């Protein structure tokens, strides 16, 4: 990386680290990973600063930028120069001195890299491989949470990597392919954002687009609750119901974009068929309940006293029965005295 690209990389990592530790996309696992990457950047800045104090600063910076294979190739070239300048036909003390100095710088660079590996700041050099479909999906998920400014910086970084891997000093077709793949993912993300910015509620749509999956699920549950309460609860509000319905539609589009579905509190998928109905929120205050039961906004008063006529009828029925029992007893007594 150039100094400018390294500075942009550090700025981007610091922004992500802040977001992963105290921002809306808090993720301690990712924060630890970003902290390690910042450690690598700081080590790189320190190494570049030390190179300026080397006997041959320009060559020290050159060897520091080389990859593992490039550094080994340069080492072999300087060893060959030294051998020819000391034991060959064309001996040259000046060339031999220069070769020794450069080999010393190469050895210093090798020791510095080995120390970085032991500290865990650098991975052991391995051949690059093309991005797998799973890695592309993970990369798309990672950049989704970036701000527009950070996304542009990520694009610039990969463009520089692609240029260097195709036409620069560190040509590598696999690295170039990886950079191309990442740039394609970034282009798709930028296209999605452009579409969201043209939508009816751009700020809300963009905010939810950058939210993690768990945050999107929570927001869906919140808006679903708002809609149900505003359309069929005790505090009906046509305006709130309309707003919640619009936000639910935006959330569903985001779920479709990610290949996900809303989840219930128990973690099962929610069947969204018929969950949000077309509601006439402009005229009457009647809203169709999403469970298919019509609510006419009329509530029966359970404290109302029964009609008086019904009470009287019950009392008469009881008295009539009592009278019949008295008549039967009288008739029995008359019959006894008669006998």
Write a three-state SS string for 31-61: HHHHHHHHHHHHHHHHHHHHHCCCCCHHHHH
Is 148 in contact with 191 (CB distance < 8 Å)? no
Write the pLDDT tens digit of every residue in 64-87: 878 778 888 889 888 888 888 888
pLDDT at residue 288 tops 50: no
What phi and psi, each to the nearest 5 degrees, are found at residue 87?
A: -120, -5
Q: What is the mean pLDDT of residues 213-218?
A: 93
Bigger pLDDT: 323 or 93? 93
pLDDT at residue 233 tops 50: yes
Q: What is the mean pLDDT of residues 28-47?
A: 74
* Residue 280 burial (C-beta neighbours within 10 Å; 0-12, 13-18, 19+): exposed
Among 29-33, 126-130, 173-177, 202-206, the minimum mean pLDDT is found in 126-130
**How far is 223 from 251, CA to CA, in rounded Å?**
9
Write the pLDDT tens digit of every residue in 113-133: 787 777 665 554 445 678 889
Nearest to 278 by CA among 248, 232, 242: 242
State pTM to two decimals. Answer: 0.47
**How far is 246 from 249, CA to CA, in rounded Å?**
5
**How far is 239 from 208, CA to CA, in rounded Å?**
21
pLDDT at residue 200 tops 60: yes
Is 270 in contact with 248 (CB distance < 8 Å)? no
Confidence of residue 191 (pLDDT cuts 50, 70, 90): very high
pLDDT at residue 309 tops 60: no
Scan for tokens 């590996």, then name that residue: 117
First-to-last CA distance in the chain? 131
């Amino acid at each position: 990386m150039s100094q400018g690209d390294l500075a942009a990389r550090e700025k981007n990592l610091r922004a992500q680290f802040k977001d992963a530790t105290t921002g809306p996309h808090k993720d301690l696992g990712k924060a630890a990973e970003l902290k390690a990457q910042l450690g690598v950047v700081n080590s790189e800045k320190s190494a570049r600063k030390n190179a300026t104090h080397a006997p041959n600063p320009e060559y020290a910076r050159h060897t520091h930028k080389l990859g593992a294979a490039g550094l080994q190739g340069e080492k072999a070239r300087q060893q060959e120069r030294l051998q020819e300048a000391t034991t060959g036909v064309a001996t040259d003390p000046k060339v031999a001195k220069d070769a020794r100095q450069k080999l010393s710088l190469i050895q210093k660079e090798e020791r510095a890299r080995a120390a970085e590996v032991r500290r865990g700041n650098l991975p052991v050099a391995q051949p690059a491989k093309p991005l797998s479909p799973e890695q592309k999906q993970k990369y798309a998920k990672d950049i989704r949470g970036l701000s527009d400014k950070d996304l542009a910086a990520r694009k610039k970084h990969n463009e520089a990597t692609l240029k260097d891997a195709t036409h620069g000093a560190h040509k590598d077709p696999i690295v170039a392919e990886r950079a191309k793949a990442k740039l394609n993912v970034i282009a798709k993300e930028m296209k999605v954002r452009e579409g969201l910015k043209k939508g009816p509620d751009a700020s809300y749509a963009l905010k939810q687009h950058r939210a993690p999956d768990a945050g999107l699920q929570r927001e869906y549950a919140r808006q679903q609750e708002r809609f149900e309460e505003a359309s069929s609860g005790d505090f009906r509000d046509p305006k709130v119901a309309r707003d919640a319905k619009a936000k639910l539609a935006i959330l569903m589009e985001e779920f479709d974009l990610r290949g996900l579905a809303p989840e219930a509190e128990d973690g099962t998928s929610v069947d969204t068929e018929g969950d949000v109905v077309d509601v006439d929120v402009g005229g009457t205050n009647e809203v169709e309940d999403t469970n298919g039961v019509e609510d006419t906004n009329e509530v029966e008063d359970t404290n109302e006293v029964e009609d008086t006529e019904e009470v009287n009828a019950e009392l008469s029925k009881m008295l009539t029965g009592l009278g019949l029992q008295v008549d039967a007893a009288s008739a029995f007594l008359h019959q006894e005295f008669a006998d």
